[in-house]
Amino acid sequence: MTSNEYVTQAIKVRMARLGITQSDVADAVGINRVVMNRYMRNQREWPIRVLDKIAPALKWQDGLDIFIAANSEEKEP
């Protein structure tokens, strides 16, 4: 998996734990749903500005928290 895929996986895990959808996240932060879907399907790389924008909707402080979670996903067997 690529680092982008690990970021996406961390976001998916967090959304599942919080019981929210990618549409919920997109709407909460003003990102177009189609664009959000492209990020979630790894058709686009996650820019740090977008990660910083969605982090609070996922109960993270900022994009760095998402990278830390992605690093944890990478270490899972």
Looking at residue 41, its pLDDT comes to 98
**DSSP of 1-16:** --HHHHHHHHHHHHHH
CA distance 74 to 24: 25
User: In this structure, are residues 8 and 39 in contact, taking their beta carbons and an 8 Å threshold?
Assistant: yes
Looking at residue 77, its pLDDT comes to 62
CATH 1.10.260.40 fits 3-75, yes or no: yes
Residues 6+ apart with CB under 8 A from 62: 51, 52, 55
**What residues does each domain of the chain span?**
3-75
Each of the 77 residues of the chain gets a pLDDT tens digit; together they read: 899 999 999 999 999 999 999 999 999 999 999 999 999 999 999 999 999 999 999 999 999 999 999 998 777 66
pTM check: above 0.75: yes
